Amino acid sequence: MLRVAKSVGLLAVVGCSGANRAPDAPRHSPPPDASTASPAPSAAPVATEATVASTPPAAPAPTSAAAVDTPPCPSDMVHVRHEYCPTLEHRCIKSEYDKPNHITICHKFEEGQKTCRGERRTVDVCVDRYEYPNKKDAHPPVMVDFFGAEQTCQAAGKRLCLESEWVAACEGPQEKPFPYGWQRSADACNIDNRWLEPNLGRVYSEDPAIQREELARLDQGVPSGSRPGCVSDNGVYDLTGNFDEWVRLDTPKPGAKSKMAGLKGGAWGHVRNACRPVTTSHAPEFTYYFISFRCCSDPVGAPPAAK
C-alpha cells in the first residue's frame, strides 16, 4: 500500500519501498528524456394433434444479463483496443534542439504519415480517464515512486499501465504523435511553462511544512481534465504535459537504470511531451515534484495483459 507522507498540500506521496532521491537532471529539471443457458432436455416430447393446441410454446432459454449488459470497463475508465505497433515512426517537419536538456523537440509532424517497423499486436485495456485519483478537477499526487504507484493501483483493483497501453491510449486509432493531433500545442495541453529552479533540500525535506511550501512554489500543474483540448481520440485526458506518469515497460530498454519502470508524457515544462518518448534514466525508487501516475486494468472477459 502507498503511504501518504507529511500531509503536503499537493497530496505529496512517497512510495513505501523507496527513499527520496535527488535527480541527476539537467537545468530544465524534467527527467531526460459468459452467458449460461438452461440445458436442453435430452428428448423432446412428441406433439400430437391433441396436444398441439393445448401446449404453450416453449419459453426461450434465459440469457445472462451480465453477458449482455456488462461493459468491458468501468464508467470512469476508457476501453482502448488497438493493433499496436511497437516501433512507429513519424516524419518531423519542424524541430528544435533544446540545448539545456540535450533533446530535440519536434513541433510539427507530417500529417497522416507513419511507418510501422515492428509486428503489430493487440492491445486491449481499460485506462483511467484522468490522472490518479481519476477524478475530473482533482490534483494528482506528486513525490510518488514506481512501487508506490503500483501498489496504489493494486489497492483499487487495478495496475499500472504498460507502456504500450499508455501509448495506444495516447495515439488513438490514427496513431497521432500527440494525443490532440500532429502539431505540438501549449494551448491544448499544460506544457512549456516557465522554468523554476527547485531547492532540492526543501523538496526532499523531512519537515512537512518546508516540503509543502516548496512543492506549492514549484507546482505548475492544472486540475485533471481542465484543458478540454488535451484529450486523445480515445477520450483520455492529460496524457502529455501536466505530470510525468509512471508506466511498466513492456521490454527493458538498452542502458536504462530500471528494467521495468518508465516515465511517460513529460510534465509542464519545455520537453518532448509526445506519445512515444519514454524516460528510463531513473530508478523505480525515484521521486520528484512533477511525477505522478494513472492506472489501467484488464477489460471484463479479456485475458490478463502479459507483464
| pLDDT tens, position by position, 245-300 | 999 999 998 888 889 999 999 999 999 999 999 999 999 999 999 999 999 999 99
In a domain, 62, yes or no: no
| pLDDT tens, position by position, 70-80 | 899 999 999 99
Q: Are 130 and 294 in contact (CB under 8 A)?
A: yes
Locate all alpha helices (DSSP H) within the chain, ordered by sequence. Answer: 49-52, 65-69, 146-155, 163-171, 200-203, 208-218
In a domain, 53, yes or no: no
In a domain, 236, yes or no: yes
Q: At CA 265, angle to CA 181 and CA 261, rounded to 5?
A: 140
Strands 103-109 and 159-160: unpaired
Question: In Å, how far from its chain's centre is CA 156?
Answer: 15
How far apart CA 151 and CA 155 sit, in angstroms, is 6
In a domain, 39, yes or no: no
In a domain, 34, yes or no: no
Q: How confident is the model at residue 47 (pLDDT cuts 50, 70, 90)?
A: very low
In a domain, 2, yes or no: no
Phi-psi region of 255 (alpha: psi -120 to 50; beta: other; left: phi over 0): left
Please tell me the total count of domains within the chain. 1
The CATH number covering residue 121 comes to 3.90.1580
Q: What is the pTM of this model?
A: 0.80
- The pair phi, psi for residue 169, each rounded to 5°, is -65, -35
**Cell numbers 505522478 correspond to what residue?**
292
Q: 56 is written with which cell numbers?
A: 404453450
On the 0-12 / 13-18 / 19+ scale of CB atoms within 10 A, 7 is exposed
| pLDDT tens, position by position, 154-181 | 999 999 999 999 999 999 999 999 999 9
- Segment (H or E) for 4: strand 3-4
In a domain, 40, yes or no: no
Q: Is the pLDDT of residue 7 over 70?
A: no
- Percentage of residues in the chain having pLDDT higher than 70: 77
| pLDDT tens, position by position, 98-123 | 998 899 999 999 999 999 999 999 99
Residue 173: domain span: 9-21+70-307
In a domain, 77, yes or no: yes
Q: Is the pLDDT of residue 51 over 60?
A: no
